Chain A
């Protein structure tokens, strides 16, 4: 018998624990549709039970996973941001430990190295009382597809409650989410989405500007290869910001003009009247003539220095998802300057991840 979590009712849940699943699942190549339903889309019907139980809670997060910003409603996003505000307070106390996820197991499964995101998720889980295990899988030893599913099956058998996944291939996290019974958080899949980054960026903006609606946000640099940009475009637009994308055409994805953003290839023009300047990292291998001619030229035309920043609004704020390439996309003077929110973004990262884990945790079965 196979059940999606959506179908889990007390009786079904009991069945799940009988062990018949282990006998069938790894050998069964075709996973029924009801197990994959709703990936990336709201579980409107599937979570009726949970939803009705939490009907009085305005922050209810009606999804089993967080796979992307796509599929989240503005209310979902605002709910997460509100939760994160509380988490900021928790993180600022001496006693940072909560029992929200006590007894729960969180696995951080990173197929791509990431110090910042992984440690942020680890701290967030620990502050909520979960047992956190870090699994780093060197990408070279992974042979994609089959192995990813094997890994999912193996992990699933360990009965985690939440798996946080980063993978170099777009859609890999979605694939994994279909193969496990627990909740899955996308910590970055290829150049597709990085939802917690977008959430922490939104939280940082909201705390500094008091709102997101009506702000003009410029996302600058390597949009083409940026999951951060994709998630941010979706989230900021959902909350009513005006998004601009600035970069050389070689670093802009095809069809970007249909994302509802304003596109500028001249950064000086694009920064005019901007409230938030969001810089993106440019990978070193893309700087030497393949996508842009050189670091020197890139910095000259697209690096954020004091002179270019002066073209934005006087109270414009600067963000960067990190890690920064100083002197490539951003000048140190700006990165460390008074208008920079880059440090604060890191703090908000932990808070937002606590909020996400807590929101997902509220749906975890208690029996």
Chain B
């Protein structure tokens, strides 16, 4: 229990509060599960019996909130469990995971929402918020019980890696969700346009002899959704955009005052189609890695704030689903543990400032999901990370906590490491060299 632990004083820290954009030297006091006090500049008075953590001038900021992670539990525990996913998350500085409903059974029933929450309480070391299915069985035909699912604790509604192709169904779902102020997360890829495509359509795909996925698969679906949103109102979040055209669409929709937000995966910010190289299946993703121009557009949109959140799109796949010819391999890469380190590349390259990057990983997702986390403020949950943004290392995927090791950053040189992770005032991860 919270009271069992003495207060913790984080001294000598570089406090970064993404919610306000403030970045400066200070100290922070945690009591129980919440931030009791923080002080920019001068050191706060030390309460009696407090544990003192010398931050050594490193960054102390809110823990990350990852709005898109696939976890194998229930149904595919051989790939990932809530426990292993949460350990990977803690090691990567992610203190809240929104898990996708693409499980077996699918999270489309209040009882399954409750099951996932119970399993998470029993086994996970970070917060787990289940997103429920948008349509029954993820079949794209009938909407799920948004109201009852929301009451059971579903934080948002999504068909995960699938898109709802029927515009009438999407329209009704948006309309119904509006009454409940529920957030819809939508994967925007028209499956008919994706067809057999396995990587970004273009010269590279043609040279590799792989079927391409045109950008229009995403753009057309996104534009349709935005037209529907104009009709229905409500809150719509494009889960992961990957093209420059998508950025333009979202920008215009935001200017028009629609309730739209969007996310991008860390992979689309840091990798492009050339990384696929010699048919490396760990780089087979949906949407596919795009051209360098698209990647640049993603980074600029993130820096401008057009892109609201950065997600890991954590998707554990094992040898059986990945050690296959490229076209036959499953989509997806793990990412919880490398989300922040990979994101810091943009900061080190001076493309995005640290508070802006952190905002897209903490306070923005918290706002969208209605969570009290994601900010350094008195009374906010003490979900915190201590980060050394300059600590360089070469990733060895075998050391990752995830049960599956399909990381696109294996053997990549990364800069920035989470030294400590706290969830509700308790240390859940400590880096040891």
Chain B residues touching A, majority SS: helix
CA–CA, A292 to B179, complex, Å?
12
A192 to chain B, nearest CB (A): 22
B141, B144, B175: the one within 8 Å of A250 (CB):
B175
Q: State which of B115-123, B145-153, B341-349 sits at the interface with chain A.
A: B145-153
* A289 → chain B closest CB, angstroms: 2
Q: Which residues of B contact A291 (CB under 8 A)?
A: 172
Are A300 and B143 interface neighbours, CB within 8 A? Answer: no
Contact across chains for A248 and B179 when beta carbons are under 8 A apart? yes
A292 to B180, CA, bound (A): 13
List B residues 277-335 near A (Cβ within 8 Å). Answer: none
Asked if A43 is an interface residue, CB under 8 A from chain B, the answer is no
A301 to B145, CA, bound (A): 11
Other-chain residue from B147, B172, B178 in contact with A301 (beta carbon distance below 8 A): B147
- CB of A294 within 8 A of chain B? yes
Q: A220 CB to closest chain B CB, in angstroms?
A: 14
Assess the A292–B142 pair: CB atoms within 8 A. Answer: no
**Residue of A266, A289, A294 ringed by the most chain B CB atoms within 10 A:** A289
Across the interface, name the chain A residue whose C-beta is closest to B232: A249
| Residue B40 interfacial (CB < 8 Å) | no
Is B162 at the interface (CB under 8 A from chain A)?
no
The answer to whether the Cβ of A288 comes within 8 Å of any Cβ in the partner chain is yes
Q: B261 contacts the other chain (Cβ, under 8 Å)? A: no
| Neighbouring A residues of B145 by C-beta, 8 Å | 293-294, 296-297
Contact across chains for A293 and B146 when beta carbons are under 8 A apart: yes
Contacting A300 at CB < 8 Å: which of B135, B147, B179, B232?
A: B147
From B179, which residue of chain A is reached at the shortest CB distance?
A: A265
B147 touches A250 (CB 8 A): no
Is B36 interfacial (CB-CB < 8 Å)? Answer: no
Tell me, yes or no, whether B136 is within 8 Å of chain A by CB: yes
Total contacting residues, chain A, CB less than 8 A: 16
B-chain residues with CB within 8 Å of residue A52 when the two chains form the complex: none
* In the complex, chain A residues whose CB is within 8 Å of the CB of B178: 249
B120-163: which have CB < 8 Å to A? 135-136, 141-148
CB distance from B227 to the nearest CB of A (A): 15
A290 within 8 A of B: yes
Task: Produce 1/0 per residue, A299-324, CB < 8 A to B.
Answer: 01100000000000000000000000
Tell which of B142, B146, B147 touches A290, judged by Cβ atoms closer than 8 Å. B142
B230 to chain A, nearest CB (A): 13
**Chain B residues whose CB sits within 8 angstroms of the CB of A289 once the complex forms:** 135-136, 141-144
CB-CB under 8 A for A297 and B141, given A250-B176, A290-B172: no
Q: A288-B142, A289-B136 are in contact. Are A249 and B147 (CB under 8 A)?
A: no
Chain B interface extent, by class? 10 to 19
User: Closest CB of chain B to A301's CB: distance in Å?
Assistant: 5
A129-169 vs B, Cβ < 8 Å mask (1 yes, 0 no): 00000000000000000000000000000000000000000
Query: Interface digits, A264-300 against B, CB 8 Å rule (1 contact, 0 not)?
Result: 0110000000000000000000001111111011001
Among B144, B145, B169, find the residue whose CB has the most chain A CB atoms closer than 10 A.
B145
B391 to chain A, nearest CB (A): 49
Which residues does chain B contribute within 8 Å of A288, judged by CB atoms?
142
* B142→A248 contact, CB < 8 A: no
- Hey, which chain B residues are within 8 Å of A266, CB to CB? 179
B222 nearest CB across to chain A (Å): 23
**Which of B135, B136, B141, B147 has the most chain A CB within a 10 Å cutoff?**
B147
Shortest Cβ gap from B66 to chain A (Å)? 28
B168-211 contact mask (Cβ, 8 Å, vs A): 1 or 0: 01001001101100000000000000000000000000000000
- Give the nearest-CB partner of B144 in chain A: A293
Known: A289-B136, A289-B141. A296 touches B148 (CB 8 A): yes
Contacts of B144 in A (CB 8 A): 289, 293
B136 and A297: CB pair below 8 A? no
Smallest beta-carbon distance B162→chain A, Å:
16
Q: Is the CB of B179 within 8 A of A293?
A: no
Which residues on B sit within 8 Å (CB–CB) of A292?
Answer: 176
Among A250, A290, A300, the residue within 8 A (CB) of B148 is: A300
Query: B141 — which chain A residues lie within 8 A by C-beta?
Result: 289
A250–B232 CA distance with the chains assembled, in angstroms: 10
The smallest beta-carbon distance between B154 and chain A, in angstroms, is 12
Chain A, residue nearest B176 (CB): A250
Once bound together, how far apart are the Cα atoms of A293 and B133, in whole Å?
Answer: 12
Which of A249, A265, A290, A292 counts the most B-chain CB atoms under 10 A from its CB? A249
A170–B135 CA distance with the chains assembled, in angstroms: 32
Chain A positions within 8 Å of B143 at CB level: 289-290, 293
Give min CB distance, A294 to chain B, whole Å.
5
The distance in angstroms between the C-alpha atoms of A296 and B136, with both chains bound, is 14
Bound Cα distance A288, B142 (Å): 7
Q: Are B175's CB and A293's CB within 8 A?
A: no
In the assembled complex, how far is the CB of residue A223 from the closest CB belonging to chain B, in whole angstroms?
Answer: 13
- Give A288 to B136 CA distance when docked, in angstroms: 10
Q: Please name 9 pairs of A and B residues whose Cβ atoms are closer than 8 Å in the assembled complex, sorted by A.
A: A248-B179, A249-B178, A250-B172, A250-B175, A250-B176, A293-B148, A297-B147, A300-B147, A301-B147
Give the 4 A-B residue pairs with the shortest CB-CB distance, closest first.
Answer: A289-B142, A265-B179, A293-B145, A297-B145
Query: Can you add 12 more A-B contacts, CB < 8 Å, to A266-B179, A293-B176?
Result: A248-B176, A249-B175, A249-B232, A250-B172, A290-B142, A290-B143, A290-B172, A293-B144, A293-B145, A294-B145, A297-B145, A297-B147
